[in-house]
Amino acid sequence: MGETEEEKDQAGKLFENFIQASTCKGTLQSFNLLCRLLDLDPQDHETFYCSLKTRLTSWRAKALWTKLDKRTCHKEYKKGQACVGTKCLIIGGGPCGLRTAIELALLGAKVVVIEKRDTFSRNNVLHLWPYTIHDLKGLGAKKFYGKFCAGAIDHISIRQLQLMLLKIALLVAVEFHVNVEFVKLLEPPENQENDGPGWRAEIRPADHPVANIDFDVVVGADGRRNTLEGFKRKEFRGKLAIAITANFVNRNTTAEAKVEEISGVAFIFNQKFFLDLKEETGIDLENIVYYKDNTHYFVMTAKKQSLLDKGVIIHDYIDTEMLLSSENVNQEALLGYAREAADFGTNYQLPTLDFAINACGQPDVAMFDFTSMYASENAALVRERFGHQLLVALVGDSLLEPFWPMGTGCARGFLAAFDSAWMVKRWTEGRTPLEVLAERESLYRILPQTTTENIGKNFEQYTIDPGTRYPNLISTCVRQNQVRKTFSRITFA
């Protein structure tokens, strides 16, 4: 392209800034600068990745392209032609929204992600299943975050994961818009000329360019409070479960490095630990997990009586919302409770237990009610209005809420991301709505049952094709007549 050495040098430096960026805003800024310098338009989604690759030839860039090229070779993507012409909107830039966005972009679709916030601030840590580690390494995770799952580490902070996925998404030409909030879907109007608007999104701010795009596919990835209409939620009510998360500053000293992590699964069965904890401190827990990451992260399920006894909860109410309302929680006592549990859990080996600070400038401790967990009844629906069809899907916590101490959110979330991308591919192949929906629901039936043990073991073979991931798959277990209610159609009068 006739670039001077100086230009190449500058591009290399900007690329390095992009790789190293440690915030959402910094990532977007360095990406925009890089595109401007190289005179590349990321909205040219069909050619962007290839153009970027030919222009960025530093060894670091090349090492990343080798990884990503291996991924783009999956036959399901049809060399990025499988979903050309399909426009997808993803609501929410959490890990599952971003992971879905990457797959749809690799299929060749135009992908727009809207995220209502402009910071990635969650220190909390996600447990990764072996296949998710393999998946992320295959996307170049280590090039963005050298410490990613080094040795036996099988977890990552939510913010670090989002950051890495955002960078990959940008490289494969996903459009990412921060400070844009989804409000609702807008149906195509009945009386319109041939090229009148199709399915659009009402967003805030209303004058944002995304409001003028017609979409073929909308994916709800906005977390447990899913804003997309049309999905009924099933509630799983267990016995009262109150979870506490706490993050402490990690100064990465040798003393801190020596402290052993607590994997929840092993500890659930360690009755003596919990009895000793109760006797010594009055803290009564059902489980506790500790991961050493950017912070020292703890998640624990606490018994109500011990929270009352320790003055964390002030009055005992039957209604859990009232019970855990901020007026009924003594914040200082909560900090003390979390610190004491963390101290005992690590055998008093962490030299200092200073709370990390959250996005609101407060000690990063939170208490949640896990008594009810929600799952959507259906994974997808098709809406047809006056000749315009829209495929609507849910992924991540919007689809199936995880129990945090088990850390299934990301693992099952990525499986649903792949299954949804597969559905979009089927859709663009011209299959009927009922065919597509029946297959998607069949796969969704498997999702809550998935464990590290019963999913495919050959991670190298994993693609968006469900057959590569679920052994003994029967993708027709839900029949077309069972999904009729998820296909709604209004035609011209």
CB of 406 to ligand FAD, least distance (A): 8
User: Is residue 227 at the binding interface for ligand FAD, with CB under 6 A as the rule?
Assistant: yes
Single-letter amino acid code for the residue at 296: H
User: Is residue 299 at the binding interface for ligand FAD, with CB under 6 A as the rule?
Assistant: yes
CA atoms within 13 A on the CB side of 414: 25
181/187 with CB nearer ligand FAD: 181
Q: Which two tokens stand for residue 478?
A: 């839900």
CB of 52 to ligand FAD, least distance (A): 26
Local structure of residue 356 (DSSP, 8 states): P
User: Is residue 404 at the binding interface for ligand FAD, with CB under 6 A as the rule?
Assistant: yes
404/444 with CB nearer ligand FAD: 404
Buried residues in 429-464 as b, exposed as e (16+ CB within 10 A): eeeebbbbbbbbbbbbebbeebeeeebeeebeebbb
User: Is residue 208 at the binding interface for ligand FAD, with CB under 6 A as the rule?
Assistant: no
CB of 154 to ligand FAD, least distance (A): 12
64/98 with CB nearer ligand FAD: 98
Which of 108, 220, 345, 396 is close enough to bind ligand FAD by CB under 6 A? 396
Provide the CA 378 distance to its chain's centre, in angstroms. Answer: 19
CB of 20 to ligand FAD, least distance (A): 22
Which of 42, 80, 94, 264 is close enough to bind ligand FAD by CB under 6 A? 94
User: Is residue 116 at the binding interface for ligand FAD, with CB under 6 A as the rule?
Assistant: yes
Interhelix angle 409-428/95-106, rounded to 10 degrees, is 30
Please identify which residue in the block is written with the tokens 């959250």.
Answer: 358
CB of 98 to ligand FAD, least distance (A): 7
| 232 to 276, 379, 391: CA distances (angstroms) | 44, 10, 16
User: Is residue 410 at the binding interface for ligand FAD, with CB under 6 A as the rule?
Assistant: yes
CB-CB neighbours of 42 under 10 Å: 20
Please identify which residue in the block is written with the tokens 């065919």.
Answer: 435
User: Is residue 422 at the binding interface for ligand FAD, with CB under 6 A as the rule?
Assistant: no
Q: Which two tokens stand for residue 408?
A: 């299934």
Q: Are 493 and 387 in contact (CB under 8 A)?
A: no
Please identify which residue in the block is written with the tokens 């401190």.
Answer: 281
User: Is residue 312 at the binding interface for ligand FAD, with CB under 6 A as the rule?
Assistant: no
Please give the Cα distance from 38 to 59 (Å, whole number). 18
Please give the Cα distance from 461 to 376 (Å, whole number). 29
User: Is residue 433 at the binding interface for ligand FAD, with CB under 6 A as the rule?
Assistant: no
55/127 with CB nearer ligand FAD: 127
SS3 assignment for 6-41: HHHHHHHHHHHHHHHCCCHHHHHHHHHHHHHHHCCC
Q: Which helix (H) or strand (E) holds 112?
A: strand 110-115
User: Is residue 96 at the binding interface for ligand FAD, with CB under 6 A as the rule?
Assistant: yes
Stretch that binds ligand FAD, among 228-236, 375-383, 403-411, 456-464 (CB under 6 A): 403-411
Which is nearest to 475 in space by CA: 451, 424, 440? 440
Residue window 241-280: x/- pattern of binding to ligand FAD, with contact defined by CB under 6 A: ----x-----------------------------------
User: Is residue 363 at the binding interface for ligand FAD, with CB under 6 A as the rule?
Assistant: no
CB of 243 to ligand FAD, least distance (A): 8
CB of 77 to ligand FAD, least distance (A): 22
User: Is residue 16 at the binding interface for ligand FAD, with CB under 6 A as the rule?
Assistant: no
| 275 to 153, 223, 332: CA distances (angstroms) | 28, 35, 25
Q: Where are the beta strands (DSSP E) in 238-294?
A: 242-249, 285-292
143/155 with CB nearer ligand FAD: 155
Q: Which two tokens stand for residue 166?
A: 């955002």
Size of the site for ligand FAD (CB under 6 A): 32
Stretch that binds ligand FAD, among 337-345, 394-402, 456-464, 470-478 (CB under 6 A): 394-402
Q: Are 46 and 80 in contact (CB under 8 A)?
A: yes
Q: Which two tokens stand for residue 97?
A: 């929204």
User: Is residue 61 at the binding interface for ligand FAD, with CB under 6 A as the rule?
Assistant: no
CB of 207 to ligand FAD, least distance (A): 16
Stretch that binds ligand FAD, among 95-103, 191-199, 261-269, 485-493 (CB under 6 A): 95-103
Calculated CA dihedral for residues 431, 432, 434, 436, nearest 10 degrees? 20
Q: Give me the residues that bind ligand FAD (CB under 6 A), please.
A: 91-97, 114-117, 122, 124, 126, 158, 181-182, 221-223, 227, 245, 299, 396-398, 402, 404, 407, 409-410, 413
